[in-house]
Amino acid sequence: MFTLGGSLMARSLDRGGRRAVGARLRRLLPPIWAFGLVAVGLLVYAGWRTPPPTTLGWADLVWWLFPARVPPVGGDAWAWTFVAVLWYITTYLWLVLLSPALLALFRRWPWPSLAAAVLLPVAMLFDVVTVGGYFAEQADHVSAYLALWMLGFAHHDGLLRRIPARRYALGVGVLAVAGAVWVCVAALTTTGTFDLNRIPAGKTLWSIAFVAAVLRFRPRVEWLERIKPLDRVVDLLNGRAVTIYLWHMPAALLAALLFTPSGFEPGVTEIVLRLALVWLLVGIAVVLFGWVEDLAARRRPTLLPRPSAPRAAGAGAAGTGGPPAPALPALPAGPTAPIGPTPATVAALVPAGPAVPPAVSMPPAVAVPPDRPVGRPTGHWNRLMVAGVAAVAVALAGAAAKVVPGPVGGNEQVQAENARYLSDMLLVVDGTPAVDQPEPEPRTRPGAVDLDGATYPNAVVVAAPSRLRVTPPTGCEQLRAVIAVADADADDVEVTFTVQADGEAVYGSGPRTRVSAAEQIDIGIPAATVVDLVATSATGNASAIWADARFVCPS
C-alpha cells in the first residue's frame, strides 16, 4: 500500500505542486483528532494523571494533533489498543512530508535513488547509516518502506513499462531470491522467527520484489459497478478507510472481552462469531465517527459515504477521470488490519499519463499500444516472473510452518513439539498494581530477548505488576516458558511470577530480582479454559519476561 500511496502522491504533486501535501494532511488529520479526543478522554476519565515518562512529559500529547510520532496513552492496561496501529499513520505522514523532495530527487536520478532506498535498511542494519534520538523508531519505519514509496513514483512516471520483460523478470527474481534468503538466514540464525516485521532488510527486498511483480497486472474494474452490493461495499470501505483502520483494534479487544465468557470452543464457529462481533463494533464506530472524513474531504457529512458516480469504461485509472484518490490508501493487511486493497484503489495504479504542468521536469512519456492486453501479465518472461515469485512465497510460507521457533544458540535444544506461542495469540492485559503504589506503564512487547547467553525469539515482556489472560488452544495441556526480571530500578526490586488455571494457582516462583538466573517452567494445565500469567511486585518499576511462553499440544 505504500507503493499505491507513492503513486497517488506523485500524481497529486504533478497536479497541485506543494499544495498537495497540505491537502493530504487535511484529509488525514481530522479523523485522527476525533479518535484521539475519544482515546485521551477515556484515559483521563479512567484516572490517567501521571505524565508520560519522556523528555517532553505532557507535551508529548501534541502528537495526537500532528502524529509525527506515536502519541502517549498513559498506563491503563487497555490503552495500547489506541496506538498499536498508529505506526502506519506516522510512517505515511513522514513520507507525505518528504515527498516533494523525494520526487525531485527521484526525477533527477531515478534508478540510483531507488537503489539507494532499497539499500537503506541494509545500511542501517550494519550501522553504516545510524539514526538515533527522539524519532529513531519513525526513522526505522520510513527506511523500511521508502523503497516501496519510490517504486510508486517509478510506476506513476511510466519507468517500469520501459523495462523489457526479460530484464524486469530477472530483476524481480534476483530481489525475490535475495529477500527470501535474507529472511531464512535471519530466521535460522538470529531472530528465530519468519516474522518479516523483525527482519527489516529482508522485508524490504522481498516486498519490493512482490509488489513489482503485482504491478505487471493491469486490471479492469468496469465489472464492479454491475454488482451493485459489492460496488457499494467498495465505496463504503474507500470512504471510511481511515476510520475503519483507527478503530478496528479497540473493537477487536472489546470483542475479545465480550466474547471470552461465551463458552464457545475454539474452532471455525468461534472464529466466525468473533470476527462478526469485531465488524459489528467497527460498524458502530463508522456510524459514530466516519462523518469526520466527509468534513475533512469538504463533503456534506453523512452517516455513510454516498455512492460514487458511475464509472466509465476503464475509469479509475490515474488521470482518466476516475474517482478521486483517497486521502489515505487502503491500509496494510496483517494480524490486525481490517481491510486490504479494494478493486477501486488497485485501479488507481493503472498508469495512463496524467497531465503535467510545464514547470515539472518529468521523463518523456512512454507510448503504450492501444491494443495492449489488460488483466493478467502476458508473455513468457512475465509468466515466469509471476510463477517464480509465487513459488518463493510458497517456499517461505512452508519454511515458516515447518520450523519450530525456539532459543537460538542457547542451552535448550529446539525440540519437535506442536507449540502455540503466546506472542502469536491475543492477550488480554489487566494491570494489577500494588495498593498505594504508582502504577507502571503496562505493555506487551513480543520480540526476541537474550537471557543468560541464550536468545529467546518469542518473548512477551510486560510491566510488573500485570496480568496476562489467554485462552489455551483446544487439547493443549502444558505451558512452558522461561521467566526473568528486567528493567528494574535496583537489584533488590522483587517480582513474583504466578500461573493460574481457571482461577486456581498452579505455579508460583517466589520473589525474583534482575540478578536471579532465568528459570524454565513446565506446568500442566489439563482442561483449563482460561490461563492467567501474573507478575506481582510490591514496588513496581520492573518488567516481567515470559520468554518463549507457549502451550504444548498433542501432535
CA distances from 510 to 432, 495, 507, 523 (A): 17, 8, 10, 15
Same domain, 125 and 268: yes
Strand order from edge to edge, sheet including 504-512: 428-430, 466-470, 531-536, 495-501, 504-512
Q: What pTM does this model have?
A: 0.67
Q: Is residue 345 part of a domain?
A: no
Residue 439 · residue 75 · CB < 8 Å: yes
Nearest Cα to 146, choosing from 209, 206, 195, 98? Answer: 98
Give the pLDDT confidence score for residue 357 in this predicted structure.
36
Residue 127, C-beta contacts closer than 8 angstroms, at least 6 positions apart: none
Residue type, 469: R
Q: Is residue 423 part of a domain?
A: yes
Task: For residues 508 and 240, give the distance between their C-alpha atoms in angstroms, rounded to a whole number.
Answer: 48
Give the pLDDT confidence score for residue 35 in this predicted structure.
96
- Residue that finishes a domain, picked among 257, 279, 297: 297
Task: For residues 26 and 343, give the distance between their C-alpha atoms in angstroms, rounded to a whole number.
Answer: 25
Task: For residues 287 and 290, give the distance between their C-alpha atoms in angstroms, rounded to a whole number.
Answer: 6
Alpha-carbon dihedral sign for residues 218, 224, 230, 233: positive
Residue 388, C-beta contacts closer than 8 angstroms, at least 6 positions apart: 169, 172, 173, 176
Q: Collapse the DSSP code of 341 into the 3-class scheme (helix H, G, I; strand E, B; otherwise coil) and give the result.
A: coil
Q: What is the mean pLDDT of residues 113-119?
A: 95
- Residue that finishes a domain, picked among 240, 262, 297: 297
Residue type, 442: P
pLDDT, tens digit (0-9, with 9 covering 90-100), for 220-267: 777 888 888 888 888 889 899 999 999 999 998 888 888 776 666 667
DSSP 143-204: HHHHHHHHHHHHHHTTHHHHS-HHHHHHHHHHHHHHHHHHHHHHIIIII-S--GGG-HHHHH
Task: For residues 76 and 93, give the distance between their C-alpha atoms in angstroms, rounded to a whole number.
Answer: 27
- List the grid coordinates of 208: 519490493
pLDDT, tens digit (0-9, with 9 covering 90-100), for 541-555: 788 899 888 888 765
| Highest mean pLDDT of the ranges 187-201, 213-227, 288-302 | 288-302
Residue 323, C-beta contacts closer than 8 angstroms, at least 6 positions apart: 238, 308, 309, 311, 315, 316, 344
Same domain, 288 and 425: no
- Higher pLDDT: 316 or 146? It is 146
Q: Is residue 134 part of a domain?
A: yes
Q: What is the CATH number of the domain that holds 491?
A: 2.60.120.1060
Nearest Cα to 536, choosing from 422, 429, 432, 428? Answer: 432
- List the grid coordinates of 390: 509465487
Give the pLDDT confidence score for residue 337 in this predicted structure.
36
| Highest mean pLDDT of the ranges 80-84, 371-375, 436-440 | 80-84
Same domain, 289 and 422: no
Conformation bin of residue 243: beta by default, left when phi > 0, alpha when psi is -120 to 50? alpha
Residue 34, C-beta contacts closer than 8 angstroms, at least 6 positions apart: 289, 292
Q: How far is CA 203 from the centre of its chain?
A: 12
Per-residue 3-state assignment (H helix, E strand, C coil) for 387-447: HHHHHHHHHHHHHHHHCCCCCECCCCCCCCCEEEEHHHCCCEEECCCCCCCCCCCCCECCE
Q: Is residue 484 part of a domain?
A: yes
- List the grid coordinates of 92: 505515511
- Number of separate domains in the chain: 2
Q: Is residue 306 part of a domain?
A: no
Give the pLDDT confidence score for residue 488 in this predicted structure.
58
Give the pLDDT confidence score for residue 310 in this predicted structure.
61
CA angle 210, 92, 123 (to 5 degrees): 60
Task: For residues 357 and 132, give the distance between their C-alpha atoms in angstroms, rounded to a whole number.
Answer: 39
Percent of the chain, pLDDT > 70?
Answer: 76
Q: Is residue 454 part of a domain?
A: yes
- Residue that finishes a domain, picked among 270, 297, 324: 297
Q: Is residue 337 part of a domain?
A: no
pLDDT, tens digit (0-9, with 9 covering 90-100), for 507-545: 888 888 888 888 888 888 877 878 889 888 877 778 889
Residue 188 · residue 181 · CB < 8 Å: no
Q: Quick check: 100 pLDDT over 50? A: yes
Cβ-in-10-Å burial (0-12, 13-18, 19+) of 468 comes to buried
Q: Is residue 30 part of a domain?
A: yes
Which range marks the domain in which residue 515 is found? 418-553
